[in-house]
Structure 1
Amino acid sequence: MIGDSLANSLNAIRVSTELIEEELRPHLDTLLAIAQERKKGMAEQVVESSILPVLAHVLWRKNSITLKTTKLVAELAKDPMIRERCFHTGISSALLSLLGSTDQELLLHVGRAISRIGHDSTLQQEKLLRNGAVPLLASVLLRYPENEALVGSCLQALCSLADMAEEDGSAMAWEPVGYVAPEEWVFRGTCRNTGSTLSSTVTLVRLQQLAPGQFVVTVEVLQRCSTAFWTAHSKMASSVRWFPRPHMNGWPKFYKVIKYSVQGYPQNGSWKSKLFHTLL
């Protein structure tokens, strides 16, 4: 029974004091399999079992079950109840400590976990930013530009920290936007709206390195509408004047800038700002 397997694995991890890898491995496998099935009520049981601090200790140890534990944390972080507790249980700081790894598969899942923890949560975003998430993610992104999945994971995490990410980042396809300027990189992510063929979303992430460990990240989301949309709109315009037609097939929706330095936040002004654009 799944219920019994879940309860047994949660209890085994909770009472583990030595954190012996071979003893924990099968229980991590069980939890990962159940988490991937998104069984109802699992998040509540995980929180009540108090295993999150144990998982954080496993991540800090950086051993043979670190990758499996990171996968589990990334899967669990899909649930709002669990990601709310990631900072206070030590999960978030443990994940950030792993961004110095050279294991690209591990980094991929760390990026996914951070992206999910920060999704739609201003509090979690601020905590991750204050603990240096931006320069760490930027460093990983620039170290492995040939690993498309890893680059996408880091970019999705940066978008999440800017509160500009889609909930399902797997739908995004990222590509670099040619040469821009020294110490500046731009990436474009596309995600077609599944409910409509008339529009699609484009996300632009601009990364500027001001100094070692000091970055400015700009995230911009644009909505693009197809020619079919504007043709249909033109037919309606004579009788229904609901908004002016712009002179192009896409326009900025909004963008957010994150400024972060390893020395801390600027003393003057806001460390994060949002600008809204409208067409007149």
Structure 2
Amino acid sequence: MGHPNVPLSYKHARAHRDRHISGRPQPYTANDNLNNALGAIRVLGVELIEDELKPHLNTVMANIKERKKGAAEQVVISGILPILALSLRSRGPLTLLTAKLVAELAKESVVRKGFGDAGLVTALLSLLTSTNEELLIHAARAISRMSYDSPRQQELLLRRGAVPRFVAILLRFPDKEALEEACLQALCNLSGMGVAEEAGMIWERGAPMRPGESVFHGVSPHTCGFASSVTLVRVSQWGPGQYEVSIEDFQRCSSSFWNLHGNKRAARWSPFFSSGSFSNFFKGIKFSTRNVPSTRSLKTRVFHTFL
């Protein structure tokens, strides 16, 4: 019934106003746990004391992995990126954990934009000379993610010598699948191919066409039932310490496509797969010029490098 002295019209207006207020976006409350960890890293980071910093780095890692609301923005505001770069360059007991954290942070566009100014680009590149396989994987993933959609970062990394470092890793660790995959994806993103991790690219070694050559096929799952993206990475040695890296992106069509369109369009074997186990799968389509949109043209990038 309500209070007898309160007019009914007032009660209706009050209820309507309360509902209106509750429907408004509420002010964002900062994550105190994350803020405390970021503050501790900022204060203690210069000394890089493992026992004191490790739990705080793990707290930041957990928040970023769980994609807590506002966590990435808090990291940027905190100013800890230069401290993370210092930890990477120190090659101390915290370097591996820091590399894992930086690789996770690189997934966030708002964070990776500041990698260059914070010194993380050069710090990550310095890790690529390590002999620690796990450290190399995290460094390669971080570089791949930060260069995925950023021509500016791609240019910076290329100028700083990222390609020869990745080539050297591929040659030094020929049987390490996880590391090989991380390096190949990084090379593709450095070349502007834009290979997203979500695409689920599957990498396999192909048959070399000449001595001193390594060939890698990257195939993404079928996206529309008929075609899938295919990336070919070829590393060729032309002389002592001289290598050419060729990265090509094109389409592979399924057998159902060829059954459907076999009488309409002529097909030819791709010259890139004239031998090897994949040769009977990869085909190129010969269209007339007017039928091929410019956005579907074959993308190719070639690097010449010295090791």
- The RMSD of aligned alpha carbons is 2.2
In 1, the alpha carbon distance for the partners of 2:152 and 2:242 equals 22
Q: Which moves more between the two structures, 210-219 or 18-27?
A: 210-219
How many residues are paired up? Answer: 253
* Aligned-partner SS, 2:117: coil
Say if 2:302 is the partner of 1:257.
Answer: yes
Contact 1:134/1:215, CA 8 A, preserved across alignment: no
Q: 1:115 offset after TM fit, Å?
A: 0.5
2:210 aligned residue: 181
Contact 1:215/1:260, CA 8 A, preserved across alignment: yes
Q: 1:13 offset after TM fit, Å?
A: 0.8
In 2, the alpha carbon distance for the partners of 1:184 and 1:122 equals 28
Contact 1:135/1:213, CA 8 A, preserved across alignment: no
Q: Which moves more between the two structures, 71-80 or 13-22?
A: 13-22
1:148 aligned residue: 177
- The gaps in structure 1 that reach 5 residues or longer are 238-243, 263-280
Supply the AA of the counterpart residue of 1:247.
A
Equivalent of 1:228, from 256, 265, 271? Answer: 256
Pair 1:54–1:77, CA change in 2 (3 A): same
* Aligned-partner SS, 2:220: strand
Q: TM-score, length-normalised on structure 1? A: 0.83
In 2, the alpha carbon distance for the partners of 1:48 and 1:219 equals 38
Give per-residue Cα distances to partners, 1:244-265, cap 9 Å, x unaligned.
7341444573211123447xxx
Contact 1:135/1:214, CA 8 A, preserved across alignment: no
Q: Matches of residues 107-122 of structure 1 in structure 2 within 5 Å? A: 107-122=136-151
Say if 2:68 is the partner of 1:7.
Answer: no
Q: Which moves more between the two structures, 85-94 or 208-217?
A: 208-217
Supply the AA of the counterpart residue of 1:107.
L
* Aligned-partner SS, 2:219: strand
**How high is the sequence identity, in percent, across the aligned residues?**
49
Say if 2:230 is the partner of 1:202.
Answer: yes
Which protein is bigger by CA-based radius of gyration? Answer: 2
Pair 1:215–1:82, CA change in 2 (3 A): farther
Supply the AA of the counterpart residue of 2:299.
F
1:87 aligned residue: 116
- The gaps in structure 2 that reach 5 residues or longer are 1-28, 269-282, 286-296
Equivalent of 2:267, from 247, 250, 257? Answer: 247
Q: 1:2 offset after TM fit, Å?
A: 8.5
